[in-house]
Amino acid sequence: MLLCDIGNTSYHFYDGVHEKKEDAASFDPRTVKEKVYYICVNGAVLQKLSPLANWVNLERHVDRSRYYETMGIDRIMACEAIKNGIVIDAGSAITVDKVQEGVFAGGFIYPGVRAMEQTYKNISSALDYSFNYKVDLDKMPKNSQDAISYGYLKPLQAEVLSHNTELILTGGDARKLACVFPRATIDELLLFGGMQKIIQRAKLC
């Protein structure tokens, strides 16, 4: 079974054992001849895939009534993968979604790492720092790098930990946030688990 999670910049393939990525701008999906079950948040790629019979859009098999209308399919798949806990998907944006007994219980969207670093840089060149993920979030900072790091990471940490539940980190920046949430489980293939559940539920194979 070949699965594919398509984001803004890449096709992320997974066959149950191996994974690989292809550039979203240059990859030609017509070169794949086997059946592919996919999700996609990239409108331009979605148009390319629509006429290809071997590419199966799993979004069509999701019960959207369990979520809100405009919720991204990537967030939905992450929620489908777990029964209880909070999923922190650290990509272009950081999405935080809570699931209780298999039911979506709400979530929020936070600026992604690169977007927020650029925001500080745009305010002033004096704030052009990368984040220090090991900053002590229990003490008020006394230098600029730690000050912006604290300002970005502390509210996120405080809100997530206030729910006192299991945490799952996924997405490209998951390992960076592991310093902020040391008890979290890192599962970089989490979305594929949700996709597999949808395939089984819809009896697609």
In the chain, domain spans? 2-61, 83-188
Please report, for residues 7, 75, 143, 154, the alpha-carbon distance to residue 70 in angstroms, rounded to integers and kept in the order given.
16, 11, 40, 28
CATH architecture for residues 83-188: 2-Layer Sandwich (3.30)
Same fold, 2-61 and 83-188: yes
Q: Is residue 96 pLDDT above 90, yes or no?
A: yes
Q: What are the residue numbers of the active site? A: 74
Q: What is the pLDDT of residues 132-142, one digit of tens each?
A: 999 999 999 99
Quick one: what percent of the chain has pLDDT higher than 90? 96
7-57, pLDDT tens digit by residue? 888 999 999 999 999 999 999 999 999 999 999 999 999 999 999 999 999
Among the listed residues 37, 30, 34, the one whose alpha carbon sits nearest the alpha carbon of residue 56: 37
Q: Round to whole Å and give the CA distance between 92 and 78.
A: 15
Q: Is the pLDDT of residue 92 over 90?
A: no
pTM above 0.95, yes or no: no
Distance CA(110)–CA(195), nearest Å, equals 24
- Identify the pLDDT of residue 135: 97
> Looking at domain 2-61, what is its CATH homologous superfamily?
ATPase, nucleotide binding domain (3.30.420.40)
pLDDT at 89: 96
